[in-house]
Amino acid sequence: MTVDRILPTDEAHDLLDLATELADRELAPRAAGFEERAEFPRDVLRTLGRAGLLGLPYAEEHGGAAQPYEVYLQVLEILASRWLAVAEAVSVHTLSCYPVAQFGTDAQRKLLPDMIGGELLGAYCLSEPQGGSDAAALTTKAVRDGDDYVVSGTKAWITHARVADFYNIFCRTGGPGPKGISCLLADRNTPGIHPQAAERTMGLHASPVAQIAFDDARVSADRLIGGEGAGFTIAMSALDSGRLGIAACAVGLAQAALDYAIGYARERQQFGRPIIDFQGLGFTLADHATQISAARALTLAAARLRDAGRPYSIEAAKAKLFATDMAMRVTTDAVQVLGGAGYVADHPVERYMREAKVLQIVEGTNQIQRLVISRALAKG
């Protein structure tokens, strides 16, 4: 179904048209095959980068498009409606460029054109095997040794772990707690960085997720981003933006599931008429359409706060929570609309359902979003 959008400029309309054209040509026809083979579509990310779609929210001086975040999120939604693994890759990569773009030195920012142009793919190394939600308790260490930091420890659940060209490593350079955390930018070929075997995930098979072991990896001190002790602030600031990216992905995935379910329900005949004419099913689809519109509006409202330079952390948490829970409901019900056909891989809705689950987990579980929101309520 066509989504009626209000966009800030004619340029934004052109960007969404470009995103739709590329998504229809480069993503939709390839998604099922790549997911079945568990193959990462690196060339697609380069294509999107060269088309300018990986640098939308970043400054033109660094090769970006200087677009409002609300425009970037709607591009992300379109990509997700064709192939979630690619949209999630774009979201993670955009997140991985954020520390250098926002907190990096002039020398570090010279890397940005290749980063946001898609020639260099990024990974965001925050979570650990024993600590995902409690990021302030991370244990990966970086010890200063002359002109280098020596990094040891293990990161977990790292998207692009085996294919990234650079890593943002959040590590402990000081004492316990958030003030002891710093951020280092490392190249993939740094000796001592060892991506592990890819995880066998429920969905997003085309997205390589793995642990990364750091075995006394030496990272030059001039790759420290924002100074020692700034890492936790960088991580949390980036995650606020990343949560909006995941919310947009959830909206796009849910829209794809709804569109497919509607198409099927219009064609499927039972008792002499299309099943969409039965209120039990038609009302379910109506609820889904309403919930998707609500999630889209909530996500874009938070993005507009961000664009206006106003606090948006709590609204980002609300958007991520609502949109991803919604996507789980919509995709699950889409399988039910198709009945037995929905349970087989001949139709994409079973994949949509498996993919939706991870969106409730990444960029902070939805339990963490509820914690963030409830603490804000308690503080008034």
263-302 residue pLDDT tens: 999 999 999 999 999 999 999 999 999 999 999 999 999 9
Return the bridge partners of 159, or none.
209
pLDDT in tens, 170-180: 999 999 999 99
Average pLDDT over residues 26-49: 96
Token duo for residue 142: 């970086």
pLDDT at 133: 78
pLDDT at 369: 96
pLDDT at 137: 87
- Overall CATH class of domain 122-229: mainly beta
Reply yes or no on whether the pLDDT at 335 is more than 70: yes
pTM of the full structure: 0.95
Reply yes or no on whether the pLDDT at 131 is more than 80: no
pLDDT in tens, 185-234: 999 999 999 999 999 999 999 999 999 999 999 999 999 999 999 999 99
Dmax (CA) for the chain in angstroms is 79
Determine how β-strand 166-172 pairs with β-strand 122-125. Answer: parallel
Is 363 noted as a catalytic residue in this protein? Answer: yes
Q: Which CATH code for domain 232-379?
A: 1.20.140.10
pLDDT at 380: 84
Q: Domain extents for the chain?
A: 10-117, 122-229, 232-379
Note the CATH architecture for domain 10-117.
Answer: Orthogonal Bundle (1.10)
Token duo for residue 245: 């990216």
pLDDT in tens, 291-300: 999 999 999 9
Mean pLDDT of the chain: 96
Closest C-alpha to 129, from 120, 121, 138: 138
Closest C-alpha to 238, from 97, 39, 53: 97
Reply yes or no on whether the pLDDT at 1 is more than 70: no
Check for a shared fold between 122-229 and 232-379. no
Reply yes or no on whether the pLDDT at 102 is more than 80: yes
Full DSSP string of 100-155: HHHH--HHHHTTHHHHHTTSS-EEEE--BTTBSS-GGG---EEEEETTEEEEEEEE
List 26, 88, 355, 363, catalytic entry: 363
